[in-house]
Structure 1
Amino acid sequence: MQATDPLRIAIIIGSTRAQRFGPTVADWFHDHARGHGGLDLDLIDLAETALPDVLDHPGPAVQALAPRLARADAFVIVSPEYNRGYPAPLKTAIDSYVEEWKAKPVAFVCYGGVSGGLRAAEQLRQVFAELHAITIRDTVSFHSCWSKFDDNGRPLDSAGAGAAATALLNQLTWWARALHEARGAHPYPL
């Protein structure tokens, strides 16, 4: 990868509920990331992947998503917080893959009630550490998210949300390039 080559970033919508707010948050972040430059973005909505509810054996849906994750240089997980945790379909999606996450950076854009999804993000950090992924410290978080976006799906505090998203993308792209070069120079040890 040349320094000018675009980084491949997979943005994953982690909720599959019918009344979810995730697409609003993810669409805003996706639009913001397009303006960041130098990124090849892949928006993955778990509600559209048909992944199984349990992992008895990998089926066609798991196999179909694998190449998209493997191509990614980095990930952004858009996750709500449900009952102090993250959604079960997101856990199933994460656990369906191993090599695809390894030695790649993962960032979080979270949302929810009073904690803004930060408790879910903290749990996700532990899961991704087990998979040998590197999580980005800065997180974009929307507490009481339903009142933080306008009717067009844009944050009411667009300057603050935009600054947080830019900081996250700056860190994510730094790690993505560094880890891409490291994986190319030396296989990741286990």
Structure 2
Amino acid sequence: MTGAPPLRLEVIVGSVRAGRFAPTVAEWFLRTAGADPRFDTGAIDLAEFPLPLDLAENDAVRAFRRRLAAADAFVFVTSEYNHGYPAALKTAIDSAKHEWRGKPVGFVSYGGVSGGLRAVEQLRQVVAELHMVSVRESVSLHRAKRQFDAAGETADGAAIDGAARMLAQLAWWGVALRAARDAGPYPG
């Protein structure tokens, strides 16, 4: 990436539930990604960016799509509810189409014993249909509330290592896919 501008990474926070743990997980990951010079990192918290459930077109949807269109890569921060991912995240995914195409995506999941892995497996199927590239590495925080201290930091070595590996893969795919998009429109 020498000489190239940093990749625009949008971190999408998928849980909107009252009392959610999402901000703790998302803020930790945003600090981690923000320290990586390969990325210009932003956050889209769906609790602060309400999208219509009926997928109607409105100003919020148009603003959301503009943010997606300007991004080079994404990370979905997701909880797991009843073996799946949050409805707000599905609404966000379905509120756009072409803006997702030809871009890499990674996952930071959290939950109880499963650490959100079942939600991520479902998301991998959905993002493939959107012509996104799902990177192999991910972050999974099992029993997440026990993994963070009062300052919002974690000593979970697997999560820290997973975040570094995932960011490396997002950077590689982000550069490759940005060059491909610059060379011509995605054929999908």
List per-residue Cα deviations over 1:39-77 (Å, max 9, x = no partner): 11111100001211222x211111111111110000000
Shift of 1:5: 1.1
TM-score w.r.t. the length of structure 2 is: 0.96
Shift of 1:163: 1.6
Shift of 1:156: 3.0
SS of 2:176's equivalent in the other structure is helix
Residue 49 of structure 1 corresponds to which residue in structure 2? 49
TM-score w.r.t. the length of structure 1 is: 0.95
Provide the C-alpha distance between the structure 2 equivalents of 1:5 and 1:116, rounded to a whole number of angstroms: 34
Query: Are 1:129 and 2:121 an aligned pair?
Result: no
Residue 83 of structure 1 corresponds to which residue in structure 2? 82
Provide the C-alpha distance between the structure 2 equivalents of 1:153 and 1:16, rounded to a whole number of angstroms: 19
Provide the C-alpha distance between the structure 2 equivalents of 1:129 and 1:160, rounded to a whole number of angstroms: 26
Residue 39 of structure 1 corresponds to which residue in structure 2? 39
In the alignment, structure 1 segments of 5+ residues that lack a partner are none
Residue type of the alignment partner of 1:130: E
- Distance change >3 Å, CA 2–CA 180, structure 1 → 2: farther
Answer whether contact 1:36 1:166 (CA < 8 A) is retained.
no
Answer whether contact 2:74 2:104 (CA < 8 A) is retained.
yes
In the alignment, structure 2 segments of 5+ residues that lack a partner are none
The number of residues matched between the two structures is 188
List per-residue Cα deviations over 1:124-173 (Å, max 9, x = no partner): 0111101100101111000110111111111132x442221110000011
Provide the C-alpha distance between the structure 2 equivalents of 1:160 and 1:126, rounded to a whole number of angstroms: 24
Provide the C-alpha distance between the structure 2 equivalents of 1:9 and 1:40, rounded to a whole number of angstroms: 6
List per-residue Cα deviations over 1:106-132 (Å, max 9, x = no partner): 000000111100100000011110110
Shift of 1:2: 6.7
Query: Which of 165, 170, 178 is matched with 2:176 structurally?
Result: 178
Residue 139 of structure 2 corresponds to which residue in structure 1? 140
SS of 1:66's equivalent in the other structure is helix
Q: Which runs of 4+ in 1 moved over 6 A?
A: none
Residue 166 of structure 2 corresponds to which residue in structure 1? 168
> Identity, % of aligned pairs?
55
- Distance change >3 Å, CA 2–CA 36, structure 1 → 2: closer
SS of 2:160's equivalent in the other structure is helix
